[in-house]
Amino acid sequence: MTQAWSGDMAAMLAQAEDPSVFGFEVAREGAPVNSDCYAIPADAQHPGTAMLFIDYMLRPENVKKNIEYIGYPMPVRGTEDTYAALVEPFPQCLVTADDLAADLFFRNGDAAGERARDAAWTDVKAG
């Protein structure tokens, strides 16, 4: 047993000889919903090039390839079926409107909160 994100599960399923031996469960209380994003630093040397890259990556045909490669959904209209097909054996991986309404999002805290979280995680890792 291990903790894994849905994208880890999707990537593992794509590589497994027999995906049917694996399972994926979400706690009945729900699970955190998180999303990566593309961002351009304010002091980027070539922000125009970065915008062109992001535009390219967010084209639906490229999003579909990216979903199949990384195992995570992306919020681009017309690509929903790509992710749904990828995780068909484990529908728990799909994020629903109810999951979003549950307000289970990671948020950055203030500086003191971030230090406390980092210290607690360091304690967990160090044993």
Higher pLDDT residue, 112 or 1? 112
| Contact call for residues 87 and 106 (beta carbons, < 8 A) | no
H helices within 29-110, ranges in order? 47-57, 60-70, 80-86, 97-101
Q: What is the pLDDT of residues 75-100, one digit of tens each?
A: 899 999 998 898 887 787 787 777 77
- 124 — pLDDT class (breaks 50, 70, 90): very high
Q: What is the pLDDT of residues 35-72, one digit of tens each?
A: 778 999 999 999 999 999 999 999 999 999 999 888 88
Residue 10 has pLDDT above 80, yes or no: no
Euclidean distance between CA atoms 89 and 74, whole angstroms: 19
pLDDT at 65: 94
Euclidean distance between CA atoms 13 and 11, whole angstroms: 5
pLDDT at 49: 98
pLDDT at 47: 97
Q: Is 6 exposed, middle or buried (CB count within 10 Å of its CB: 0-12, 13-18, 19+)?
A: buried
pLDDT at 116: 92
Give the N- to C-terminal CA distance of the chain in Å, as an integer. 19
